[in-house]
Amino acid sequence: MKKTRVLLTGSTGTMGYSVLKELVKELDKFELILMVRHMDPRKELIQPYEKVSGVEIYWGDLTNYAEVFACVKRADIILHVAAFVSPAADYDPLLAMKTNYGSTKNILTAIKEQNRLAEAKLVYIGTVAETGDRRPPIHWGRVGDPIKPSIFDYYAVSKVAAERIVIESGLTYWVSLRQTGIMGAAMSKINDPILFHNGLHNVLEYVSDRDSGRLLRNLCMMEHQGELSPEFWKHIYNVGGGETCRVDTYSMFQDVFGAIGIKELDYVISPKWFATKNFHGQYYLDSDKLEEFLHFRQDSMTYFYEEYIKNLGITASISKVICKLPGGQKLMGGILKKVFLKMARTEHGTIHFIENHMENQIAAYWGSKSEWEQIPESVHDLVRPKDWNQITVLDHGYDEEKPKNKLKLSDMSEAAIFRGGKLDSISMEQGDLSTPLTYTCAFGHTFEASPKLILEGGHWCPVCERESWNYGRRAMVDPFFAQVWKPLHDGEEPQKEYKKIVNELMV
């Protein structure tokens, strides 16, 4: 059987490197093309593969169209894993847009110019950050829920824009896999104030780096062997590790610090350091769909806790011994607490926002200064949500029981009205979810979007998405979006708007 040529971007990143390690085990089936930047700070990870038969390293930049064109031309499957991610993206929003949106645009343009829309297979990696903050009571979600990148999260903004052009690309074979938080060695080493953006009552259904590698290995293997169902393509999927990978931040901290002997969280953290709004994460109602196709899950949260201990090395052993001594937990916790507080006072830190009276950040992450002041000093005084297992299924604004090939113009009109807008198109071929229709949003912006983008992707007006975070105003006129805003922002100023300093038109 002829080998399948796979182009892998992002092979030095957390997910990409895991994919690389899986695919090199199968070089009797694949030829790998790795596109790596000369200036990549982790390029030493790739050097062992430079002389491996069946692996070609192309030293180039995804923002350089000519170099992208050359790599795409030879690929049967394109695994577009590369991204400029948070927290790094928080410090350079324009670079995030150039890298994440620009690279995706280059890949799609190359495929089109090569007249390969009907044959090239693109696997695009999206992100859970596209749907933003989904704390209790709306912490269970699925594909098709509203797109809502968190305020100031330009990584998510760039990925929303990129996913949109993938879905609307005209490719016969595309898929968008919305990656969740990746647990493993890299996550255990995060040393950035983004730790405090992840509120204590926030939830995530994580997936391991190893399972992420297996996911794309299995996809390529099944496609190579003709075992991947045609029904897999032209869809969006949530990537999640399932029930054993669902955890809230508070519980994760209990396990992490408990593993090194600190049972009292007050010794290590203060609730006042943590945002109460505006991060991202959810438990998935539909992540089993991807597992049913690709059978990749093997790890649980236990794997992350093991990696965390391994990363600490001898420090973990010393901490366990000290914590058994009288006053030991308080001593070790106090050392860590000073380190964390210092971090929270850095440029993007939550305490930095408070101490420097940064009104927009305070409004975004807590609602107001008075709401922050009401947060207790002790974790024992926190009022914990009680509805972890209560599932609220959001209304998508059309009859989801109807077979997709039966959807017609009236269904799209119903969906548009539920989003506070209207459908302007006067005709639609029944069951055609790929051809764009014309809509007007509640704020008077006219735009085109396919039924697939709106119904399955949860996207809506690109002009609103591009210009600002106008979520309070939008929730007043858009019942679809109100479902993910009002439960978490009751009583806030609805006219609050945050202008975006970066958008995809700048690329």
pLDDT 10s digits, 235-252: 999 999 999 999 999 999
Q: Determine how β-strand 422-423 pairs with β-strand 437-440.
A: antiparallel
Coil vs helix vs strand at 123: strand
Residue range(s) occupied by CATH 3.40.50.720 in the chain: 4-190+204-242+279-298
C-alpha–C-alpha distance, residues 46 and 49, integer Å: 6
**207 pLDDT higher than 80:** yes
CA angle 56, 298, 224 (to 5 degrees): 40
Respond yes or no on whether the N-terminal peptide bond of residue 137 is cis (omega within 30° of 0).
yes
- Can you tell me the mean pLDDT for 262-277? 97
pLDDT at 230 over 90: yes
Tell me how far apart the alpha carbons of residues 381 and 379 are, in angstroms, rounded to a whole number.
5
Q: What is the pLDDT of residue 388?
A: 86
Pick the CATH number of 4-190+204-242+279-298 from 2.40.50.140, 3.20.20.100, 3.20.20.140, 3.40.50.720: 3.40.50.720
Please state, in angstroms and rounded to a whole number, the distance separating the CA atoms of residues 259 and 143: 35
Among the residue ranges 9-13, 145-149, 188-192, the one predicted with the least confidence is: 188-192
Give me the mean pLDDT over the 332-336 stretch: 95
Peptide bond into 87 cis (omega under 30): yes
Mean pLDDT, residues 52-62 taken together: 95
Distance, in Å, from the CA atom of 98 to the CA atom of 145, rounded to the nearest integer, reads 26
